[in-house]
Chains A and B, each alone.
Chain A
């Protein structure tokens, strides 16, 4: 009987998975993990950021395994991550000591330490470059050689933060420091959520979601327009307390990340004798794995809005924080494809029951 959907499930699933491997290996070309990792860096960054797991090689593997599906790749990394025991917490990373790749400020023309445009697509003209369509090994080598010689001469750049200068001047409003830090990967987030939990949630948020909400926030559904005080991208060191000897530290590696501080003007919260309050600058903070300017900026906007009072939709922590996790949103949407025979039957029973009753009334 062809209609019976309840048997043959096992075979169907197995065949479907087999078929996937055919899709994954379509065509003649070979996709090397190395190639994905080296040439699809921004995609890798985005996946690691949403997975909350810094592992470029595994991210490349995940991409290869999932035909380049971003959400599947994030999923693979997350699922792998949850099998790993948590051995150490690192010391707080110090972004002041970041080795700068890129650093800009939209607030000041001149900043202490200078601006470094770094590598950005911002000023490219978005014209398809047909010349790299048939790029040869030789072409690539030439570019590499050119940069290699320049890199050897360059000193690593370290610069102070833009906000430090303003903080000294006393125009930055200082928020409260949270002593206890939450870890949202171990304990569920509870509301009202402290800032540490909010920042962790947003930095793992789906990039498009974070950007979209921040866009809504500056278009009129938040109350504020930011000035990007500083955006910096570079290497930061990860350091842990050396487990074998007290007081000693161990360098375990470095990661690339992008940090943003956005400035907003706000009424001072400090008590004042005057009739009118002073204005101060509030800071929204964003930090994401890898190179991802927009997500870091958007994160700083959402952080600021969530720190401020208001009854807009973006001030609502539960709305902003509970709907942007890549796994949760795509998981719940995709589960709608599962059979709902039973619940539908139950719904149908209700519809029929009311239909029967209404008929005589109309007669």
Chain B
């Protein structure tokens, strides 16, 4: 399933909220969890580096405040990082630091190379536009100007996501949470982006609905071979989807490895608690 070609490389990502002070800028041991007790600066990501290989699903697990959402927002460029380098092999042969691109270039990367499914569908969808138009937005952003062609693609994608074609004209605000997530997924993959990010996509959904959404994610991965990063606080989700997993705590990566390995033989005490609570 996995080949050894990299798809995405992140080096030394730092995101801090606040200016930092002499103490926390020089010695991170002063931090209480991820926050400096002196200047109240939050160190949301502290020197996070990772690589994702083509066609693989990387799981990111951690509790809230661990930095996993910050990581995701930085990768999708919803947030400006403080420091770091970010390379995509599908953009300029991985030679250009994505964080340093112009706004227009970043827009291109977002529209053509990346897909994002947010935990909150309100962030990813226009609730007052039809579901069809929501999916089409990605196609339009990527330069498609043929209505019939887009409508066909949208209908096909949505029915693939088990959204009935009869409801394509309806806006997502009429839909259940699970169905909204399925529209979001359809939108995110509309352009066949080589890389897809999923941020807590099943959080807040009923168990049966969760299972269905996860099945879909698996299906997409198999069919399109998209490289994915899946963020969740729920190890069960990660276990089901991810080939490899990183564990985050207080803005840092504390453990990484094959998902099976982490499940069988967790090294870090935090991971052990996580795994134990699952059993």
Cβ contacts under 8 Å, B40 to chain A: 271
Cβ-based interface call for A273 (8 A): yes
Please report whether the interface of chain B is mostly helix, strand, loop or mixed according to DSSP: loop
Q: A225-240, CB under 8 A of B: which get 1 and which 0?
A: 0000000000000000
We find that the number of chain B residues with CB closer than 8 angstroms to chain A is 3
Q: How far is the CB of A278 from chain B (nearest CB, A)?
A: 14
Cβ-based interface call for B2 (8 A): no
**Cα-based distance from A214 to B256 in the complex (angstroms):** 55
Cβ-based interface call for B219 (8 A): no
**Cα-based distance from A240 to B38 in the complex (angstroms):** 48
Closest chain A residue, CB of each to CB of B39: A271
Q: How far is the CB of A121 from chain B (nearest CB, A)?
A: 47
Cβ contacts under 8 Å, A273 to chain B: 38
**Cα-based distance from A273 to B38 in the complex (angstroms):** 6
Q: A256-272, CB under 8 A of B: which get 1 and which 0?
A: 00000000000000010
A:261-300 near B, CB below 8 Å: 271, 273
Q: How far is the CB of B123 from chain A (nearest CB, A)?
A: 15
**Cα-based distance from A271 to B40 in the complex (angstroms):** 8
Closest chain A residue, CB of each to CB of B40: A271
Q: How far is the CB of B275 from chain A (nearest CB, A)?
A: 34
Cβ contacts under 8 Å, B38 to chain A: 273
A:315-343 near B, CB below 8 Å: none
**Cα-based distance from A271 to B38 in the complex (angstroms):** 9
Closest chain A residue, CB of each to CB of B38: A273
**Cα-based distance from A271 to B36 in the complex (angstroms):** 12
Q: How far is the CB of B30 from chain A (nearest CB, A)?
A: 14
**Cα-based distance from A273 to B40 in the complex (angstroms):** 9
B:25-39 near A, CB below 8 Å: 38-39
**Cα-based distance from A273 to B37 in the complex (angstroms):** 8
Closest chain A residue, CB of each to CB of B18: A271
**Cα-based distance from A299 to B272 in the complex (angstroms):** 59
Q: How far is the CB of B156 from chain A (nearest CB, A)?
A: 23
Closest chain B residue, CB of each to CB of A272: B40
**Cα-based distance from A273 to B39 in the complex (angstroms):** 8
**Cα-based distance from A271 to B20 in the complex (angstroms):** 12
Closest chain B residue, CB of each to CB of A273: B38
Q: How far is the CB of A358 from chain B (nearest CB, A)?
A: 14
**Cα-based distance from A259 to B171 in the complex (angstroms):** 50
Cβ contacts under 8 Å, B39 to chain A: 271
Cβ contacts under 8 Å, A271 to chain B: 39-40
Complex A-B, nearest 3 residue pairs according to Cβ-Cβ distance, in ascending order? A271-B39, A271-B40, A273-B38
3 pairs of residues in contact across A and B, judged by CB atoms under 8 Å: A271-B39, A271-B40, A273-B38
